[in-house]
Amino acid sequence: MNIILVSINHKTAPIEIREALHLSNNEIVDFIGILKQNYLLEGLILTTCNRTEILGIPKNTILIHDKIIDELINFKSVTGIKKEHFTSYFSCSAVKHFFSVAGGIDSLIIGDSQILAQVKEAVQISEENKFVSYYLNRLFDTAIRVGKRSIKETIIGEGAVSISYAAVQVVEKVFANLYTKSALIIGAGETAELAAIHLRNKGVGRITITNRTKAKAEKLADKIHGEIIPFEFFKEYLHNYDIILSATSSNGYILEYTDIKEMMKKRRYSAVCIMDIAIPRDINPITSNLDNVFYNDIDSLKMIVDQNIKKREKEIPVIENIIMEEMVNFFSWYNSLDVIPAIKNLRSFFEQIKEDELNKIRHKVTEEDFVKIEEMSKRLIGRLLHNPTLKLRQLSENGRNYEETANSILLIKEIFNLNLEDK
Amino acid sequence: MIPVIHTLNIVLPILYLVTFLTYVYDFVEDKSLFRNAKRLFLFITILIQVFYLFARTIEFNHPPITNKFEIFTVLAFSLACCYFVLELITDIRGTGIFILFLSLVFQIISTIFIQDLVSVPEVLRNRMLGMHVISALLGYSGITISAVQSLLYLMLYHSLKTKKYGLIFNRLPNIEILEKLSFNSMIIGFILLTISIFIGIVWLPEAFPNFSYYDPKLITTALIWVLYSIGILLKLTSNLYGRKFVNFSIAGFIIALFSLILGNVLSSSFHTFY
């Protein structure tokens, strides 16, 4: 199969190069136009923060990976990019790589939950730009199935693989009904925002933001439908919160042991989760000695992340098996496409013989007899070809018996000396 | 009927072992095949044990409470049964192995030593005594399960405090749930213990001429009942929660266990049958 794929990803190029070649949705549409015009019959462009992949069926049999790479570099007008930053795939290897991407095992974070949605979006853009037809449609459907099966049949997407999500995982091990709990987020930077979003998605009842710059706190509070309290007074309200998550860029501790001890006293020592995900730390780690204080910092949360990554890595062989199964199915289907031209050629071959023989006797028999002979030869060919046609059609319909199909077609080609046209 | 009883006596520990192993496998493995099947195994085991206990009652014409090893099979059953009800109510399946292990041990001991007693003291054939003992056993099963859940709470608490995120962290439900499970089991146990005491107080004076309210077993049971009622009251008024509550549950269980043992050792009263 004439599928080609060029890929630049986290394994082949540093982030600044990947960023330089990242395509926006509008750029994808424009670049599809160039590919359609010059190189590919049909194809797809997948671009994420970690990869840009171009897959397609070339217009002719010449390998055009390098041309597509040059075209992409020219299109983005970037310099300093080498061919070594790209990997090229052809046929089976292209399909396998694409399925690995869709299955999440080629991602920077194995089992990345975003990738399947990104593949679907890329397929949609190709469809909208009429860049997909019969063959790649089937390939894309299969790739999406690989992604879905990976999520459903394995634990590749389970467990926290980011610090902020690991913090939420610990919170869930302490509290049962998060909607009855309240959380205080100290800081309004990127990490704090991510953690706040995770907590909101998990259904935490009340989320309050406090930050030195009030405007930033307000912005984040708006985004997650939370509240704010002034940074100057937040210590006075600590006891109202079951979850305290701190992610500021402060150089020293903003919460000391005595602050937490006082807070616990006010809370009548009911459990509290303290997640210090700042570097350097915001909360004195000695607070973890207090009863019912579940304190975690980046190091302890990273242990959870590492553990989950190892678990995900163990699933890779299972997903590789899924990919292999789907590849066998896909190529069986593809190879079974030979059946239809084979049936057509076989019928034409017999029709031709019939026509030749009828022409030979056309003037040797009466008109009435010729009609009878013509009808008889038509019936004869029909009956002779009935079983072979039926059998080949059956093979074509189920698309599973690749070897049997290929052998049957080969035999027919050889014994009748047929030349099948390419698909 | 006797061959059936003997066969079931052999089959029951095997069923408990299979059920226990499915719970272990599911506890250790992510997305195991036995996530739903293990509950079915437990249900079948309980069902067969119900049949076995009824068969013994009918065949030997007395409830299976006339000796320690009959008590052990009833104890295995009541633990499994209480846990099963708890699992059905809460749909929390991560703590089964710790409770079913006890059922397995009790059933194995029972299977090895149990005898077919036909002649037993007449009083042991009484249905009221059967209800009294079985409700007491179910009650003690409830407080045992409560103590096991509390122990799991402390294990998870320790895991969270020391930041050891292993199997205990990954498989057990959160500590709030464990506290809830422990409290629910305690409530079930307390209600059944109350029923048992009630039956005992109503029926025992009639059945035993030498009945005495100063019987050590009666006094210890009453003390256990008072202890748990205070604990439950404090929990309901939000004065006993978290680690304090689970410590109370474990302490209560240990006190109950030692009281029972002491009561049995010291007592030679009407309340001793075997």
Model confidence over A184-194: pLDDT tens digits? 999 998 889 98
Within 8 A of A167 by CB-CB distance, chain B residues are: none
CA A376 to CA A288: how far, in whole Å? 96
Q: Which residues contact B127 (CB under 8 A, 6 or more apart)?
A: B63
Contact A172 B174 (CB under 8 A): yes
What's the pLDDT band for A420 if we cut at 50, 70, 90?
Answer: low
Name which residue leads in pLDDT, B220 or A53: A53
Strand A243-246 to strand A51-58: parallel, antiparallel, or no bridges (unpaired)?
Answer: unpaired
Contact A176 B180 (CB under 8 A): yes
The pLDDT value given to residue A149: 93
| Out of A170, A176, A303, closest to residue B177 by CB | A176
Candidates A145, A100, A116; CA nearest to A9 is A100
Q: Among the listed ranges A158-162, A200-204, B204-208, which one has the minimum average pLDDT value?
A: B204-208
- Side-chain-side CA neighbours of residue B123 (13 Å): 14
| Out of B31, B165, B241, closest to residue A303 by CB | B165
Within 8 A of B237 by CB-CB distance, chain A residues are: none
Distance in Å, alpha carbon of B236 to nearest chain A alpha carbon: 15
What's the pLDDT band for A400 if we cut at 50, 70, 90?
Answer: low
Q: Which residues contact B136 (CB under 8 A, 6 or more apart)?
A: B192, B193, B196, B200, B221
Q: Is B116 an 8 Å CB contact of chain A?
A: no
Q: How many residues does chain A have?
A: 423
Q: Is B31 an 8 Å CB contact of chain A?
A: yes
The answer on pLDDT for A93 being more than 80 is: yes
Distance in Å, alpha carbon of A286 to nearest chain B alpha carbon: 12
The answer on pLDDT for A422 being more than 50 is: no
Supply the ipTM of this predicted assembly: 0.78
Distance in Å, alpha carbon of A410 to nearest chain B alpha carbon: 44
Q: Which residues contact B62 (CB under 8 A, 6 or more apart)?
A: B117, B120, B124, B125, B130
Contact A307 B165 (CB under 8 A): yes
Distance in Å, alpha carbon of A253 to nearest chain B alpha carbon: 21
Q: CB pairs below 8 Å between A and B: how many?
A: 42
Name which residue leads in pLDDT, A417 or B150: B150
Give the dihedral sign, CA A188/A191/A192/A196.
positive
Residues of A annotated as catalytic are 49
Within 8 A of B173 by CB-CB distance, chain A residues are: 176
Chain B interface test: which of A173, A274, A297, A313 (most B C-beta within 10 Å): A173
| Mean pLDDT for the stretch of residues B76-80 | 91
Within 8 A of B175 by CB-CB distance, chain A residues are: 173-174, 271
| Out of A174, A176, A311, closest to residue B160 by CB | A174
Within 8 A of B242 by CB-CB distance, chain A residues are: 269-271, 292
Q: Find the angle CA(A202)-CA(A264)-CA(B244) to the nearest 5 degrees.
A: 85
Q: Is A311 an 8 Å CB contact of chain B?
A: yes
Q: Is A300 an 8 Å CB contact of chain B?
A: yes
Q: How many CB atoms lie within 10 A of CB A345?
A: 18
| Mean pLDDT for the stretch of residues A242-267 | 93
| Out of A154, A173, A270, closest to residue B160 by CB | A173
Q: Which residues contact B146 (CB under 8 A, 6 or more apart)?
A: B182, B183, B185, B186, B189, B249, B252, B253
Q: Is B162 an 8 Å CB contact of chain A?
A: no
CA–centroid distance for A181 within its chain: 35
Contact B175 A271 (CB under 8 A): yes
The SS3 of residue A155 is coil
At residue A90, φ and ψ (nearest 5 deg) are -140, 140
CA dihedral angle for residue A198, residue A202, residue A203, residue A204, rounded to 10 degrees:
-60
CA B132 to CA B145: how far, in whole Å? 20
Task: Provide, rounded to the nearest whole percent, the portion of chain B with pLDDT above 70.
Answer: 93
| Mean pLDDT for the stretch of residues A355-373 | 90
Place of tokens 């992510």: B30
The pLDDT value given to residue B248: 95
Q: How far is CA A414 from CA A241, A342, A350, A407, B78, in A?
A: 80, 12, 15, 10, 76
Average per-residue pLDDT for chain B:
86
| Spatial contact of A302 and A161, defined as CB atoms under 8 Å apart | no
Distance in Å, alpha carbon of B231 to nearest chain A alpha carbon: 18
The pLDDT value given to residue A78: 85
For B144, the token pair is: 């045992």
Contact B242 A311 (CB under 8 A): no
| Spatial contact of A196 and A226, defined as CB atoms under 8 Å apart | yes
Q: Is A170 an 8 Å CB contact of chain B?
A: yes
Q: How many CB atoms lie within 10 A of CB B208?
A: 14
> For the segment A94-129, what is each residue's pLDDT rounded down to a tens digit?
999 999 999 999 988 888 878 999 999 999 999 999
| Model confidence pTM above 0.95 | no
Q: Is A304 an 8 Å CB contact of chain B?
A: yes
| Spatial contact of A43 and A59, defined as CB atoms under 8 Å apart | no
Candidates A351, A191, A147, A346; CA nearest to A279 is A191
Contact B30 A158 (CB under 8 A): yes
Q: Is B156 an 8 Å CB contact of chain A?
A: yes
Contact A296 B176 (CB under 8 A): no
Within 8 A of B165 by CB-CB distance, chain A residues are: 303-304, 307
Distance in Å, alpha carbon of A261 to nearest chain B alpha carbon: 16
Q: Which residues contact B212 (CB under 8 A, 6 or more apart)?
A: B218, B269, B270
The pLDDT value given to residue B108: 94
Q: Is A269 an 8 Å CB contact of chain B?
A: yes
Q: Is A290 an 8 Å CB contact of chain B?
A: no
Distance in Å, alpha carbon of A404 to nearest chain B alpha carbon: 36
Within 8 A of A158 by CB-CB distance, chain B residues are: 30
